[in-house]
Structure 1
Amino acid sequence: MPGFLAGRRYRVHDGEGGHGYLAIYDIEADDLTVPFAELRARAAAGTVATSDLVENDPPPVIRFYEFIEEHHA
């Protein structure tokens, strides 16, 4: 999908808490609303492959974060 470079999925370690899974996608775009709109359009059209691991009840929370800095040990 245009703008999406990579993705990683995580499962909560202790099995407790609200959402049990986390997906982080690397996105490159001048305007972050463009890849998000494309994702929504493809999801509505049913052309996005989804994993059985995606929890829809409660619905996934989608947030975009902007990179600010990186630290190395």
Structure 2
Amino acid sequence: MVMMGINILKPYYVIGVISADGERLLHKVDVKLERPTLAHEMGVTENYNIILDYPNRFGLDRLLADKQ
């Protein structure tokens, strides 16, 4: 099983492969992105994971500016 996760802190995007029984993380990659992104899906083929880097971005500076 392939999983992905996003965060507003580095690493912003993580892809992992989990064993068929769901018990072990077999492989994990911290994808090197310049800033957080709002990604909610990806493509998976036999040989590749297709990462969709959407233009929707998280910006802590923008979130904090709205509170002032």
TM range (shorter): under 0.3
The structure in which a higher percent of residues are strand is: 2
- Give TM-score scaled by structure 2 length: 0.26
The structure in which a higher percent of residues are helix is: 1
